[in-house]
A and B are shown apart, each in its own frame.
Chain A
Amino acid sequence: MSIPILSLVTFVPLLGAVLLIFLPRERKTLLYSVALTLSLFVFAASLFLYFRFDAAAAGPQFVEKSAWLGFGIQYHLGIDGISLFLVLLTTFLVPIVILASWSYIQDRIKEYLIFMLLLETGILGVFLSLNLFLFYVFWEAALIPMYFLIGIWGGKRRVYATMKFVLFTMFGSLLMLAAIFTLSSLFFKATGTYSLNVFEQARMVLNPRLQTWLFLAFGLAFAIKVPMFPFHTWLPDAHVEAPTGGSVLLAALLLKMGSYGFIRFAIPLFPDAVETFLPALSVLCLIGIIYGGLMALIQKDVKSLVAYSSVSHMGLVMLAVFSLNVEGTLGAIYQMLNHGLSTGALFLAVGILYERAHTRAIKDFGGVSKQMPVFSAFFLIAILSSAGLPGLNGFIGEISCLYGIFAANKIYAVLAMTTVILGAAYLLWMFQRVMQGPITNEKILSFRDMGRREILYFAPIVVLMFWMGISPQTFLGKMEASVTAYVQRIKGRERVFVQKPGPSPAARRIDVREALSR
């Protein structure tokens, strides 16, 4: 392969953003068309990745590596079974979001599209980086466009919401940065060379006490992003205030950056610390699942209902990640994709309703399905997918997650099962109140059904939901090799015991005091 396909996928959106700066702001259609074309091109390029991806190989493919800044900082991109579908999800959703914004965003379209494309570059970079430094660069860079998307096009409390979002995320990531410094310097002390390559870093055997601190730093950054209970408070604010497009990307992609971070970085780098914290983390996940579900039940605003459902669903994903077995991890990744699709679709549906009613309060709706039968069908499918109806994608993900959790701990699995019940409850109850029953608000009588554009962007998601529900092997097949290798690396690692006297020559062990005194 001579074309650097991963760089192409990552940076074409950035180029598009630069191009948009120089286009006249009055030509709205032109701006949209350019952005849409470029994002579709990126999607096509990433499809190419899918077809050329070798399902049997566990390691990263399409690797691009070149020296960048020295000190182990390399430009190092690669894709494996864990990141492949997250990349595809990103490139798939961005054109949809651009289409969905066509009528929702009326002013400052140019800036909106610029930030959208910048965000796409940031997210793709996060999923593709295999160098800790590069990862951090993209991680932080993705923050800025979202900050603007919420802050400029958001609702009434947008400034509060966006500041909260940025400061929460930044707090975690700065600690992660400190941990990256430490890792870099430890690696140098252990081997005499610099490297921030994930896989090389993961081979370094660290003292458990040191691991604890470093894991806490990384884990906090990711836990805030996921968000895990009790770091979730920024999420409902950000979601409620964000414009539809921002909400979709936030829920579908930005949250995945957190759970992906655990799988790619926090767990492989600090396996002993993960083992120590496993009970605490699992309990937090369980609280997240139940608390998120209960909170979703009592929301008055459709959007914050979906936001809390995210907290609940991501809790399940994280619990499956922490099951540390192949089934659970596969399920977690699958469920990440499902959540991206179904929550994305739910936010799009809420956006469609909001464009007509200019309200999101559940009590203002009722009987909408009479006026909008097509929309009603789409909405119902999205809800059922989110609730995990067999035949749709959510079912496969949830079952697989629960299977993995069950294998790890039966009590957790039983408790986690509540997500299925709660999910069905809050979603269907919401559907009933919004879509069915008598029409209580005469404004609803003037609603028109979904237009052609709306069907155009909603239909691909629904198709994919069915596809992922009926033929999961298309997707799981490409993940299995990487996930198996990942689980084996963690299970089969060299265990370190601090008290054991005498140095072992095989292990490049680092003791804190020794490292600091050197």
Chain B
Amino acid sequence: MAAPDKPLDAFGRRHRFSAFEALPWLITVGAYFVFPDYLALGAQILATILFALSLDLVLGYAGIVTLGQAAFFGTGAYTAGILAANGWGEPLSGLLAAAVGAAVVGFCSGVVILRTAGLTLLMQTLVVAAMLLELANKASRFTGGGDGLQGMDVWPIFGTFRFDLFGRTAYIYCAVVLFLAWLLVRAIVHSPFGRSLTGIRENMLRMHAVGAPVERRKLTAYTISAALAGISGALIAQTAQFVGLGVLGLERSGTVLIMLIIGGVGQLYGAFIGVTLYMIAQDRFATIDPVYWYFWIGLFMIFVVLFARGGVLGLVARARRHFGKES
């Protein structure tokens, strides 16, 4: 964001759609036709973007550092998965159930843990996810435990669009859901509510002083974010027709954080860039050598933190500022 001459003007304009914002969607539509062999991967990317977007809402806007976002992703995935494995494979109501389930978990855990801050909060988010992982592991009658949930039967969308082998339906399904979720998140962050979240991130004491209901705002954002993460988990479960314990793992929370950081936090589009880069790179490198993958991504992460703060979007902004000064 460049510093505007008239700040109030920028306030008035910031919610309007700019031409750049069409770019991700043009790419999404274009990729469908250009890479017909990679639609299954594409669907995964789109669903994971939604996951990263949900994290961006709590981390980038409300400033809550969490390592337990997988708790909601996993809750959504298991909700949709267990429904589909037990005779209710209608995908849209599955998504809704996943969103509600994850939101309930988000709300209940949020009431308890959001009162703390810093390392304690980080710990609490970790512990919530670890608890759910343990629960899913032990309740193997419902979840399949370590073997994963099998026998999911997802019905065609609207009774007509069957999930095909090439992932065409899955791709379009994920794209449409992501688009709707993006509209929602975009509206949220530009609303007065979203502005107050940014205020809480920047200076919590001051927000208390101006009378903003800080705790309630944080809890609302946390719950919405949990619901979105749940939808994302449900999308992955429905399109892959399988749910494993990994959906609740620390690795999942950690990697989504890394993806978001690569793209850029708190800018709404970091999720799009980061997830796409990460998952395409993972798809390329992990097939060549899955062992090295972790090593390189770790090294890259350290590099980003030390030298490229703000991720790709941060670099773009810096480059623009740099060249802007020269001209």
A and B are partners in one complex rather than unrelated chains: no
Query: Which residues of A are in contact with B by a Cβ distance under 8 Å?
Result: none
Query: Which residues of B are in contact with A by a Cβ distance under 8 Å?
Result: none
